[in-house]
Structure 1
């Protein structure tokens, strides 16, 4: 073969190799790193224990499987959830999430004159995880077997009966104020610093009634230490099949549930949000997750970001009215 042809072939081959190498360099430079690339911090704005922990830890365990990276729960209580919400609102590492809640997203905007976060602008809705029904309970000494009898009893003693909550603006406070507003009764509100102290007084009879998340009081109801007169759920609970809902007892459409969702900081990229949303829906609907949630009377949801965002907007409108009428103020 002529030397010129050999040189030409070598030159073409070298050029082709250089071209491929350059393309490889460009592709590598333009490629985005796989997400998640490290462990994800899942912040819970409440102390350990209760429904929030059950929902968060169940979801975290399943997300770890679907995302291929560890998802760990970080409890960060304080200031009605505002401290944790502000922390995550300003997170910029793409690996921090937070448990959304009826209080932090739909109530705090109306009871605090100023928040260190914007519930809509600072976060992206990922998915509604679960609803936990509020149970309306009374101490056994209260002569009422159902909601109808309780309302009649409360109306016969206006302002003389008391109900407790885990604090001003808590889910239990909202639940009972919503019932009071709907049924037209007047009762004294006694706020506590947490569900534990509240239950102590309720079980001892120092309180007449309360509205508490199902997971915290099912054991006391089954033991006969408290009487459930109604559930705030849209349908009867499997754990309490003989207890009718509030709606069944004369108030159609009434529903009071604590709800928990997943929020991501506003700067999470669209592609990562899409991946997280798909994984979350699978996580919530997985058999093991539904079993864990069902044991605490929680209803697994797992919807799209759009559906969850619409749900939050509706809840904000509903609770704004309740907060304003009840004149609820932060502790």
Structure 2
């Protein structure tokens, strides 16, 4: 073999070796560095508590730290926009809530498209609301509410409070009015606390609110529960009937938590994150934490969550448009 032939042979061997090694280098196993979990609400709230519990267990599954980053503001749109515009590599995750399904139709303009720019990973939990009235109200049941709601006029309106225009309490009630074909009058407040304060004080008779917030007030006799908002009764309050049971057909509305990643994230990465999320939610510690903030553990597949999310987007878009609700 000539010197030139030996050089060509050696070079070819080196190139073949590099070709064999390179794919392994390019396809480093996910994850190989810390992950960021972005939460659109302040530290200490229900979303933050749930997110941190899930992150802790997911990090054990993935063998990488998951750093929770709070980016509150604009009904979680700041956090959602951050993740939507992040690199689609699985290292930036959104801890999403029902707001993500509502905001696309609620706001005139958004800097991102929730349905196109984000990919569902797993629904983590679902939390029902309770429909409650002040005990002094003449409305004793959902049947009473429907009967009164069909007879309302400008002199005999039925008012309800909410945490603000476009809030869960607002849209849950508008969905009730639509399904039951009754007329209710909205009284928006700047937050759930002042809204509940006026219901407790008798200034406004009715409100939808988080089950954990309302249950102690019901047990103390300060509120009367009419119904739970979910399709099935809550394990936290099994004696309170659903709206569907009481004649409001197909009524099902819950607040929920779920994980999302930027569109374009590889399917293998989504699957890895989904498995870690499902395993985390199934642990007794995370399940207990979720229940402590009024949520029922779900732990869905990514395809199940995708179907659920798209159904939620459509449902709340219909409510927002029919009620003519909009936030600038």
* TM-score normalized by the length of structure 1: 0.86
Q: Does residue 146 of structure 1 match 2:144? A: no
**Unpaired stretches in structure 2, ≥5 consecutive residues:** 1-8
**1:183-210 CA-partner distances (Å, limit 9, x unpaired):** 2222221222322232222222222111
Where in structure 2 are the equivalents of 1:166-177 lying within 5 Å? Answer: 166-177=163-174
Partner of 2:159: 162
CA-to-aligned-CA distance 1:5-62 (integer Å, 9 cap, x gap) = xxxxxxxxxx99x969983795267423333233322112123455423432232222
- Cα 1:149–1:325 shift into 2, 3 Å: same
Seen in structure 2, the aligned counterparts of structure 1 residues 50 and 279 have a Cα distance that, compared at 3 Å, is: same
CA contact 1:128–1:261 (8 Å) conserved in 2: yes
State how far apart, in whole Å, the 2-side matches of 1:86 and 1:283 are: 26
SS in 1 for 2:114: coil
Distance of 1:178 and 1:329 partners within structure 2:
15
SS in structure 1 of the partner of residue 226 of structure 2: strand
1:63-95 Cα offsets, whole Å, 9 max, x none, are 122112222332222222221111111112642
Structure 1 pair 74–201 and aligned structure 2 pair: CA distance change class (3 A): farther
The reply to whether residue 23 of structure 1 matches residue 23 of structure 2 is: no
Q: Which one of 173, 177, 180 corresponds to residue 180 of structure 1?
A: 177
Q: 1:310: Cα distance to partner? A: 1.2
Partner of 2:313: 316
Superposed CA deviations along residues 293-328 of structure 1, whole A, max 9, x for unmatched, are 233431211111111111111122222211111001
| Alpha-carbon RMSD | 2.6
The change in CA–CA distance for 1:252 and 1:188 in structure 2 (over 3 A counts) is closer
Match of 2:91 among 86, 95, 105: 95
Where does residue 204 of structure 1 map in the other structure?
Answer: 201
Q: 1:60-79 alignment to 2 at 5 Å? A: 60-79=55-74
Tell me what 1:8 maps to: none
The aligned counterpart of 1:240 is 237
- Provide the residue aligned with 1:117 in structure 2: 112
C-alpha distance in 1 between matches for 2:174 and 2:309: 20
Unaligned runs of 5+ in 1: 1-14
Find 1:287's aligned residue among 268, 284, 295: 284
Query: In the alignment, is the contact (CA less than 8 A) between 1:234 and 1:254 conserved in 2?
Result: yes
